[in-house]
């Protein structure tokens, strides 16, 4: 199966910086949006100009930051540029991440008109106290409204929630997750709160002012998440991602099946195959420096060739996150490498790995020690 080709657009601006977030997001109050859009288009042109063969675009993903702060006209202009540079696959998935506070009915409808057919709403929590703790600029009522609107307006919708918050009980999370499932979105991304270095939460954590659930409690929360989503017909297809069959995020599947993707915008990264060579691209992270580079040089991207060994390992790391696992034949032919059969047998005997239909996949037990499983397979 070909992993396909996607385009990622990073919009780096947010209304406020959430205390847990280490994404490349920046608070800026006034800027000339058209200049930023022009920079993104130039960076996309620079990528396309290196590709002799321009593959069809199966997915476009506007991520952030907060792309729902973009004017619909800007989203439309980027989509037009993409369609000019690459052939668009029929029914290409066009996703935009939206924050509930920046969402209003008019803009949602305008995004839909501009060509967005999938929205990912950052609900994060469904009670006001936890939303305030997470530093969110919306309340639970707005989150519910945005979720309902997303399901109504877009053919496809996903909701993001963060769980395993300090003091969150299993019962509280079950109730909240049931409510999130009741909105009827085909897809949910459910992340355990992670303390990321350099964030305000990391400082509070280091000072003992913030504690996260211990391993046993986190495991119990993870388990009920799997149970409730499975019972609601949205089983996990990746560690944190749950969907109805056929409603998996095609964009993320491109990453996890180790396909190619162009990445434009501050801090965006990409993976592009040119002939037999595979390149990692990295855009300048700081927004103003990124803008200056796109205006002076056409693009801020640094291209670095990935060795075959590194690419093979990266493929393994990505694919083993998926419930479907990795196709053995595809991997071995692509990298001209053999997976270690003795280690595979040992991991299978220990119930860390399953082998079926030409795939290897981590079992639920294996997923808890995924780094070890990958290290043994990559040995
Ligand atoms: C790019 S971010 C956010 C997109 C959008 N700006 C928002 O805030 O909803 C994508 C998702 O990552 C998750 N996330 C970010 N930082 C996290 C952390 N430290 N722990 C757990 N989940 C996190 C959140 O659920 C978030 O919706
Ligand atoms: S979580 Fe979203 S809104 Fe909050 S700072 Fe990160 S990207 Fe911005």
Please give the pLDDT value at position 13: 96
Contact criterion met (CB below 8 Å) for 168 and 175: no
Q: Is the pLDDT of residue 80 over 80?
A: yes
Q: Is the pLDDT of residue 103 over 90?
A: no
Phi then psi for 64, rounded to 5 degrees? Answer: -155, -160
**How is the beta sheet containing 353-356 ordered, strand by strand?**
326-327, 359-362, 353-356
| pLDDT band, very low/low/confident/very high, at 379 (cuts 50, 70, 90) | confident
Cis peptide, bond prior to residue 354, ω within 30 of zero: no
Which one of 62, 102, 160 would you pick to mutate in the ligand 1 pocket, going by the greatest count of ligand atoms within 8 A of its CB?
160
| pLDDT band, very low/low/confident/very high, at 106 (cuts 50, 70, 90) | confident
Neighbours of 151 (CB within 10 A): 18
Contact criterion met (CB below 8 Å) for 173 and 134: no
Q: Is the pLDDT of residue 246 over 90?
A: yes
Neighbours of 152 (CB within 10 A): 11
How are beta strands 156-163 and 118-124 bridged, if at all? parallel
pLDDT tens sequence across 309-347: 999 999 999 999 999 999 999 999 999 999 999 999 999
CA–centroid distance for 136 within its chain: 19
Q: Where are the alpha helices (DSSP H) in the chain?
A: 33-50, 72-85, 105-114, 128-133, 140-153, 170-182, 200-206, 215-231, 250-256, 287-297, 308-319, 328-335, 341-349, 364-367, 370-378
Task: Tell me the mean pLDDT in the region 224-228.
Answer: 97
Please give the pLDDT value at position 29: 82
Q: Is the CB of 191 under 6 A from ligand 1?
A: yes
**How is the beta sheet containing 88-98 ordered, strand by strand?**
236-238, 241-243, 187-192, 156-163, 118-124, 88-98, 57-64, 5-11, 260-264, 269-274, 277-282, 302-306
Its pTM stands at 0.96
pLDDT tens sequence across 107-150: 999 999 999 999 999 999 999 999 999 999 999 999 999 999 99
Please give the pLDDT value at position 30: 86
Please give the pLDDT value at position 102: 67
Which one of 10, 122, 193 would you pick to mutate in the ligand 2 pocket, going by the greatest count of ligand atoms within 8 A of its CB?
122
Please give the pLDDT value at position 355: 95
Cα–Cα distance for residue pair 64/26, rounded to 1 Å = 10
Give the chain's mean pLDDT: 95
Please give the pLDDT value at position 198: 96
Closest C-alpha among 178, 197, 202, 198 to residue 188? 178
DSSP one-letter code for 352? S
Give Dmax (Cα) for the chain.
59
Q: Is the CB of 196 under 6 A from ligand 1?
A: yes
Cα–Cα distance for residue pair 319/207, rounded to 1 Å = 37
Task: Tell me the mean pLDDT in the region 14-42.
Answer: 95
Residues framing ligand 2 (Cβ under 6 A) = 14, 17-18, 21, 23, 25, 64-66, 99, 122
How many percent of the chain have pLDDT more than 70? Answer: 99
Residue 62 to residues 7, 69, 255, Cα–Cα distance (Å): 9, 11, 15
| pLDDT band, very low/low/confident/very high, at 1 (cuts 50, 70, 90) | low
Please give the pLDDT value at position 101: 81
Neighbours of 77 (CB within 10 A): 19
């Amino acid at each position: 199966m070909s992993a396909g080709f996607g385009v990622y657009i990073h919009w780096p601006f947010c209304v406020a910086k959430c205390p847990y977030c280490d994404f490349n997001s920046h608070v800026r109050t006034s800027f000339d949006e058209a200049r930023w859009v022009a920079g993104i288009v130039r960076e996309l042109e620079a990528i396309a100009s290196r590709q002799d063969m321009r593959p069809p675009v199966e997915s476009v993903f506007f991520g952030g930051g907060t792309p729902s702060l973009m004017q619909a006209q800007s989203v439309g202009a980027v989509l037009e540029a993409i369609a000019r540079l690459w052939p668009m696959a029929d029914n290409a998935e066009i996703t935009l991440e939206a924050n509930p506070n920046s969402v209003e009915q008019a803009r949602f409808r305008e995004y839909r008109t501009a060509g967005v057919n999938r929205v990912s709403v950052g609900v994060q929590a469904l009670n006001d106290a936890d939303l305030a703790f997470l530093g969110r600029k919306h309340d639970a009522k707005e989150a519910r409204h945005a979720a309902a609107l997303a399901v109504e307006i877009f053919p496809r919708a996903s909701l993001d929630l963060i769980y395993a918050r300090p003091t969150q009980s299993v019962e509280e999370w079950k109730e909240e997750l049931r409510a999130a499932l009741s909105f009827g979105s085909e897809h949910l991304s459910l992340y355990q709160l992670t303390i990321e270095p350099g964030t305000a939460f990391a400082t509070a954590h280091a000072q003992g002012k913030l504690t996260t659930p211990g391993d046993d409690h986190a495991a119990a929360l993870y388990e009920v998440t799997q149970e409730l989503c499975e019972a609601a017909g949205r089983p996990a297809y990746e560690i944190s991602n749950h969907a109805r069959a056929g409603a998996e995020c095609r964009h993320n599947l491109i990453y996890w099946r180790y396909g190619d993707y162009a990445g434009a915008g501050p801090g965006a990264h990409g993976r592009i195959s040119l002939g037999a060579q595979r390149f990692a691209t990295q855009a300048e992270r700081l927004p103003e420096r990124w803008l200056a580079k796109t205006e002076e040089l056409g693009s801020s991207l640094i291209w670095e060739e990935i060795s075959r060994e590194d690419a093979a390992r990266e493929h393994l790391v990505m694919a083993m996150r998926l419930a479907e696992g990795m196709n053995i034949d595809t991997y071995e032919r692509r990298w001209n490498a053999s997976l270690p059969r003795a280690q595979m047998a040992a991991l299978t005997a220990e119930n860390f790995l399953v082998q079926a239909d030409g795939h290897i996949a981590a079992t639920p037990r294996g997923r808890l020690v995924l780094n070890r499983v990958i290290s043994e397979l990559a040995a």
